[in-house]
Amino acid sequence: MGLDPSQLNEFWRFFRISRMEHCSGNVGAWEIGQTLEGGGDGSGVNATDLELNPDRNMLMAVVRWVEEGVVPERLLHQQNPSDTPRPLLAHNA
């Protein structure tokens, strides 16, 4: 593209999820908001609220970036709903 890293970072972020299969599953921490399993651990947390949270949902993070200008630098992810969420960091250019 011929852009330097600072120009590329204005519109591009890459999040690599190690050991994740195509859309979900495997042994990696693959839950990034694409299912409604987020509150299924009996914690009393509403799964829909978790799924619409841009800190835990990849799509909502992009929506927030476009609509509010908040650049996603990290995303919380987990393998199972009962797991403690861990930060997934963006690989910048």
Of the candidates 4, 32, 36, the one whose C-alpha atom is nearest the C-alpha of residue 16 is 32
pTM over 0.75? The answer is no
Residue percentage of the chain with pLDDT more than 70? 73
> 34: closest CA among 16, 61, 12?
61
**Domain boundaries defined on the chain:** 1-93
As a whole number, the mean pLDDT across the chain is 76
